[in-house]
Amino acid sequence: MNSSLPFESLFSFVSESLHERDLAVILRREEQPIEGTPFYFERRRFVEKSHRPGEISLFSLPRRREKEERKKEKREKDETVRHHLSSLQCFCFDCLIKVSTVAMYRTAASRARALKGSLSRSLRPARYASSSAVATSSSSSSPGFFSWLTGGSSSSLNSLDMPLQGVSLPPPLADLVEPSKLKITTLPNGLKIASEMSPNPAASIGLYVDCGSIYEAPYFHGATHLLERMAFKSTRNRSHLRLVREIEAIGGNTSASASREQMSYTIDALKTYVPEMVEVLIDSVRNPAFLDWEVNEELRKMKLEIAELAKNPMGLLMEAVHSAGYSGALANPLYAPESALDRLNGELLEEFMAENFTAARMVLAASGVEHEELLKVVEPLTSDLPNVPRQAEPKSQYTGGDFRQHTGGEVIMTDLLSLNKCATHFALAFEVPGWNNEKEAVIATVLQMLMGGGGSFSAGGPGKGMHSWLYLRILNEYQQVQSCTAFSSIFNNTGLFGIYGCSSPEFAAKAIELAAKEMKDVAGGKVNQKHLDRAKAATKSAVLMNLESRMIAAEDIGRQILTYGERKPVEQFLKTVDGLTLKDITDFTSKIISKPLTMGSFGDVLSVPSYDTISSKFS
């Protein structure tokens, strides 16, 4: 009997560590515990512990003498357990540590009943049904508790390197997978359909419209902002609830955005749902219902969004420099002005869409879809769109200008808005060529990456701007500057390039002077080849990483076709970037700072120098 003590004692040690609730399940399932086994003592202790007055216990209450004998017996058994545990090898202790996890406790509890009989017969010859166990020598011991718990002596499984019978593996992918060529089809009404195939199991489809805030007449101001928020709402064919349920059923993801020149509606889902994706997308764009309660709800949200704009000084100044720097279409606000919110309604949106959402100004672009399959679905749904000649883009003239909004001096800083009001935010911008002048637009992109910048609280590291021009020369040198970063906003025929900054009010004049000085230093040729090479590598990396996204790839197809009438290969862009020299950067910067300055300031602007003073810094 002594030879069985290590195994029984070890199980007693583990069972005492089990969760009380799991142990209760084990003990309640015991119908007739065998006297003298660990389960017998554990069940008796459990029943005595849970017995309450008025209930009938399965065991009679022990006498004091019997209780003392059991305590003595338990102490002797504990000493025996400790003696045998100390003789176990180190790997046994590793297994015991694993037993402490909750998952294994509960597994042990669920299997304890099955082990009831084997525990009391641990010395008897084991009887197995598996052939692997029969092959073992008669002198080998029973697999035991640790084998069951940790799988240490479980039967060996087939190696994963061995092929499975009846399963044919697909051919492996080639080392280099060539992307499919872009295919473009123009329907008789002028709508363009473009797609490229990819090995991904998902697809992105977008409908891009040559219609933005520059096409808004004064009566329509704010229409594109409201259209963006009304995307994928109720249509004439389905309610908003049904639309949402259908998109969820295919695991789709939708989005809409409005810019100054274009609008986009996109949907992303698995390739097997391409017909459903196209139908939902086109129905949402062509047949919006503009229900009164949905329009009113979005107008209420727009009011909150406009109020929140004051908490984003950089976004507010980006709007301001467009309004101050241009006369004409690009001066139109991207966000609906508060004065227009009471005028916007469903009828006005229908009128605006009928005038601007024509077939010749639309491109349906897809990434990850076979072109022929896309044509079969799209053509019947869009062939009846009106064939109206494409409208010429409204004219815009760059003039330069100054915008200032003083929000107060001493403010108790209780929130982000108060913090923004007591600081001084500024932006200095100049006109740059648009995307129709491809090389100079690429130079502006590389120049923005070269100057870089960021916030003074940036964590640093690759991509954080720690090695960029503005970070090294301003943010690292002047603690009063909270933020300083370069920005660009490029359109088809024109654009803006400049520097945004934020500092304490008493340092505002110096911060603006520093920003102007850095642009003049770049124009004066103080940038070295190391800075340029880093900026070129970062630009190419950012473009290539973005194009790995299906939705960005589809957007790139749609927007390029709206701008150029075709999609230029990314290799052409990379080749242009590689060909840039220090002279290109110097000449380009000198050219743009010779144009009129556009300046904007927000917050505590009392210390901001006059427009003429700052403009003279670039002479």
Res. 484: pLDDT tops 80: yes
Q: Which of 96-100, 300-304, 455-459 has the highest mean pLDDT?
A: 300-304
Report how far residue 447's alpha carbon sits from residue 539's, in angstroms, rounded to the nearest whole number: 10
Res. 137: pLDDT tops 60: no
What DSSP string describes 203-220?
Answer: EEEEEEES--GGG--GGG
- Return the structure tokens found at 44: 């008796």
Average pLDDT of span 4-25: 45
366 has which bridge partners?
195, 205
Res. 154: pLDDT tops 70: no
Sequence-distant (6+) residues with CB within 8 A of 581 are 532
Kindly report which listed range (64-78, 96-110, 217-231, 337-351) carries the lowest average pLDDT score. 96-110
User: What are the tens digits of pLDDT across the range 532-550?
Assistant: 999 999 999 999 999 988 8
Kindly report which listed range (2-11, 312-321, 480-489) carries the lowest average pLDDT score. 2-11
598 has which bridge partners?
401, 429
Q: How far from 179 is each of 197, 364, 368, 388, 523, CA to CA, in Å? A: 7, 20, 10, 35, 40
What DSSP string describes 137-156?
Answer: -TTSPP-HHHHHHH-TTPPP
Give the H or E element holding residue 110: helix 102-112
Whole-number pLDDT of residue 199: 81
Burial class (CB in 10 A: 0-12, 13-18, 19+), 77: middle
Pairing verdict, β 263-270 and 253-258: antiparallel
Kindly report which listed range (22-31, 42-51, 375-384, 424-433) carries the lowest average pLDDT score. 22-31
Res. 43: pLDDT tops 70: no
Whole-number pLDDT of residue 407: 85
Whole-number pLDDT of residue 133: 37
User: What are the tens digits of pLDDT across the range 446-475?
Assistant: 999 999 887 765 544 444 556 788 988 998
Average pLDDT of span 86-110: 47
The rounded percent of the chain whose pLDDT value lies above 90 is 56
State the pTM of this model. Answer: 0.70
Res. 102: pLDDT tops 80: no
Task: Read off the DSSP letter of residue 472.
Answer: I
**If we measure between CA atoms, which residue out of 265, 270, 280, 234 comes closest to residue 381?**
280
The amino acid occupying position 205 is: I
Report how far residue 73's alpha carbon sits from residue 382's, in angstroms, rounded to the nearest whole number: 89
Report how far residue 563's alpha carbon sits from residue 576's, in angstroms, rounded to the nearest whole number: 19
Average pLDDT of span 362-370: 94
Would you say 81 and 10 are in contact if contact means Cβ atoms under 8 Å apart?
yes
Helix 240-249, helix 274-286: angle, nearest 10: 160
Whole-number pLDDT of residue 517: 95
Report how far residue 589's alpha carbon sits from residue 464's, in angstroms, rounded to the nearest whole number: 24
Report how far residue 444's alpha carbon sits from residue 588's, in angstroms, rounded to the nearest whole number: 8
pLDDT band at 46 (very low <50, low <70, confident <90, very high): low
Pairing verdict, β 494-503 and 401-406: unpaired
pLDDT band at 156 (very low <50, low <70, confident <90, very high): low
What DSSP string describes 515-544?
Answer: HHHHHHHHHTT---HHHHHHHHHHHHHHHH
CA 425 to chain centre: 29
- Listed in order, strand segments (DSSP E) in 372-476 are 396-398, 401-406, 424-433, 453-455
Average pLDDT of span 499-507: 94
- Return the structure tokens found at 273: 């749902």
More confident residue, 605 or 20: 605
Mean of the per-residue pLDDT values for the chain? 79
Whole-number pLDDT of residue 162: 77
Would you say 227 and 215 are in contact if contact means Cβ atoms under 8 Å apart?
no
Report how far residue 254's alpha carbon sits from residue 265's, in angstroms, rounded to the nearest whole number: 8
Provide the terminal-to-terminal Cα distance of the chain, rounded to the nearest Å: 103
- Residue indicated by tokens 């601007």: 356
Average pLDDT of span 9-30: 46
Kindly report which listed range (7-21, 331-345, 459-473) carries the lowest average pLDDT score. 7-21
Query: Could you give the angle at the alpha carbon of 76 between the alpha carbons of 72 and 82, nearest 5°?
Result: 145
Q: Which of 76-80, 140-144, 161-165, 581-585 has the highest mean pLDDT?
A: 581-585
Whole-number pLDDT of residue 472: 87
DSSP three-state, residue 264 = strand
Report how far residue 375's alpha carbon sits from residue 487's, in angstroms, rounded to the nearest whole number: 39
Report how far residue 40's alpha carbon sits from residue 50's, in angstroms, rounded to the nearest whole number: 16
Average pLDDT of span 266-278: 94
